[in-house]
Amino acid sequence: MKIKNKILLLILITIIFGCEFQSEKNEKLNILWLVAEDLSPFYLNAYGDPRAHTPNLDRLAKEGVVYTNNFSVSGVCSPSRATLATGLYPNSFGAQNMRTLNQQPAAREAGIIDYQAVPPPEVKMVSEIMRENGYYTTNNAKEDYQFFKSELAWDESSIYAHWRNRPDKKIPFFSIFNFGVCHESGMWNSRKNFFDTGDEFPPSRNEKQWWVKYNGTNQKILVPEDLKVKIPPYLPQNKIGENAMKRMYTNIIRMDKGVGRILDQLEEDGLLEKTIIVWYSDHGGPLPRQKRLLYDSGLRVPLIIRYPNKVRAGERDDRLISFVDFAPTLLSMVGLEPPKYMQGHAFEGNFKAKSSRTFIHGHADRFDESVDMIRAVRDKRFKYLKNFNPEKPYYLPLAYRENMEVMQELLRMRDKGELDENQSLWFRETKKVEELFDTENDPHELKNISLDPAYASILKKLRAECERWMGEIDDKGFINEIDLISDFYPNGKAQLTAPPSIEFNNGEVSVSCETPGARIGYRYTSEKAPYLGWNHYSTPLIEREGDTLEIITHRLGFKYGITSVFNGKQLKTFYPANSHDD
C-alpha cells in the first residue's frame, strides 16, 4: 500500500509540474515576484537566523521551497535588474556599470553622460514575452534596468500597478512588487522620501501621500533593546556596529509586513493556489563590505518559491542558481520555451535544464564615481576572484555609502589606527591579482588561499572557468566606458527607433519598421487607460472613423517613436523628450 501511495504521489507531482504548471481547470497559473532590496539570506529565520520576526516569509518557506545557493550576478541593483529583465549577463552587452541612466556628479566630471545600454536587437524584456503570450503584466514600481523599459513590456509600471487592475479577471498575470525598506539608504543617519511598505498596496490613484517622508533615525527599532546580535567580523565590534545590525533586522521585519499585505490580497482574491509566488532580493546586504562586492555577502541572495497546493512544501534545494536563470525559468514555468539568446537556463518548469549548474559568475565594475574591474566564479564551496586592477585598493570612496553611521565609524577607526586584522582587509592599498576562498570554512572570505599549494588544482579550475565565461559572453568590461557610450550613442545622442512604414488598404493599416529589433505596438485613443499597455502588433489593423490609431516603434536602448494615424493619414512621428536621452 505504501508503494502504491508513493507512485500516486509521483504521478500527482508529474501532473502538476508538467503541462505548463497549469491548474486543475487547465488554466495558466499566475506568477508573482516579490522583491526585497539589499538583503543577504544570512539574517533570515528561513536560513537560520531567528532574530527578525518574519511570519510571512516563514510561511512561504514552510509551504514552499527554500533555495539555499542562489546568487545575483552583481553586488548592486541596476546591473542585476538588467539580467533579471533580459536573461543576459550585464557585462555581455555593456550594462555592467552602476548606473547608466543617472550619473553621480563625479562621474559626470569624468566625462560619463547619462546613457542607455543597448542590448542585441533580438533581446526582449521577459515581461514583454509574457505579454505577447496572453499575460497581464505589472511592475510596482522599480525599473532601473540600465535602459528604459520596453514600452511593450508592462500593462502598467507605476506605484499603482497591481493584478487587480486587469480588465478581465480570467486573464493570467505576471506581477512584480518591490520592497525598498531594506535598501542601503534605510541604514542612513537620516532619510527622506523613503518607500514605506507600511502603506496599502496599491494606493488609490487619488492618494497623494504614497511616498512617506520620515527621518530614519526616528523610526522605532522593532527588535528587543537587549537583543544579542552577531556583528560580521569586518564591521565595528561596538555599539555602532550593534545598532546597524538592529536597524537592518528592523527593516527586514517591516519588509515582511509588506509581503504579508500582498499575500493577504492574493488570498482575498482567491488566487493563492493559482499563483506561483517567488520571493527574493536583488543582491546582498546593505552594510559596508557587503553591497557592491563579490563576496557572498554581496552576491548571495535568498530565494523562496511557493508552488500552488504547497507542492514540495518544506523542501530545501541546494542547486546553484544564478539571476541569469530567472528569466528562462519564468518562461519555463508557464510552458514557454526560453529564447536561444538567453544565457541562463531554466531550473524549474517544462523546459528545466537536464543538469544543474557547476558554477555561478559575477562581476564588479564602476560604482557611481569609483571604477574597478573584478570577476568572480564560484562552485558550491570555493570562490575565485580575478582583480584586473590590483594596484587599486579594495575600498573605494563612495559618497552614497558614507551616509551610513557604521561606514563613518569604519573610516574613523581607520584614520585612528583602531581597525583589527579583519576590518583592515578591506582597506588594503593593493590587491592580489587572484584570490581564492573556501566559503565552507571561511564564510566571510577573509583568508586568501590562492597561494596555498594544497588548492592549486581548484585555483586552476576556477581560473579556467573565469576565462572561458568571459570569452563566451564577450565581456565588455575591457572597453573604456566612454568608448562604450560612443558605440551606443554614435553622435552623443540616443539612437532613434525608425518611424513605422504604414500602408493603407481598404480600411486596413499594415505596419512595419526598418530598425532591427524594433517592436511595434498600437492602441486606439478611445481605449487608452493607465492600467492597459500597448497592444502587440501582429496583423493588419482596422481604422475606426473618428478614432485616432497610435502606433509605437521601440527597440531596447533606443528612443521610441509614436506615430498617429487619423482618417487614412499618417501624421508626424513624435519622440517623447527625456532628459537622459537629450
Residue type, 435: E
Q: Which residues contact 204 (CB under 8 A, 6 or more apart)?
A: none
> Cβ distance 298 to 281 under 8 Å?
no
Which positions ≥6 away from 255 have C-beta within 8 Å?
36, 39, 179, 181, 182, 197
Angle between helices 405-415 and 239-268 in degrees, nearest 10: 160
- For residue 227, give the DSSP letter: -
Question: CA 149, CA 133: separation in Å to the nearest integer?
Answer: 18
What the block records as the C-alpha cell of 504 is 493603407
Indicate the pairing of strand 549-554 with strand 561-566.
antiparallel
pLDDT at 104: 83
**Residues paired with 315 in a beta bridge:** 65
**Beta strands, E only, 65-163:** 65-71, 136-140, 156-157
DSSP codes of every residue in 427-489: G-SS--SEEEEETTT-TT-----TT-GGGHHHHHHHHHHHHHHHHHHT-GGGS-HHHHHHHHS
Q: How many residues does the chain have?
A: 582
Question: Closest Cα partner for 39 from 244, 248, 285, 282?
Answer: 285
CA distance 350 to 35: 24
Task: Judge whether 182 counts as a catalytic residue.
Answer: no
C-beta atoms surrounding 515 within 10 Å: 18
Strand partners, 139: 157, 176
pLDDT of residue 22: 54
pTM for the predicted model, two decimal places? 0.93
Q: Out of 77, 182, 466, 513, which one is annotated catalytic?
A: 77
Rounded distance between C-alpha atoms, residue 182 and residue 248, angstroms: 7
Q: What is the pLDDT along the chain (582 residues), one digit of tens a residue?
A: 444 454 444 444 444 444 445 555 678 999 999 999 999 999 999 999 999 999 999 999 999 999 999 999 999 999 999 999 999 999 999 999 998 999 988 888 888 999 999 999 999 999 999 999 999 999 999 999 999 999 999 999 999 999 999 999 999 999 999 999 999 999 997 544 344 444 445 666 654 333 333 333 447 899 999 999 999 999 999 999 999 999 999 999 999 999 999 999 999 999 999 999 999 999 999 999 999 999 999 999 999 999 999 999 999 999 999 999 999 999 999 999 999 999 999 999 999 999 999 999 999 999 988 999 999 999 999 999 999 999 999 999 999 999 999 999 999 999 999 999 999 999 999 999 999 999 999 999 999 999 999 999 999 999 999 999 999 999 999 999 999 999 999 989 999 999 999 999 999 999 999 999 999 999 999 999 999 999 999 999 999 999 999 999 999 999 999 999 999 999 999 999 864 455
- Which helix (H) or strand (E) segment holds residue 223: the answer is none
Q: How far is CA 144 from CA 100, 147, 556, 582, in A?
A: 9, 7, 13, 18
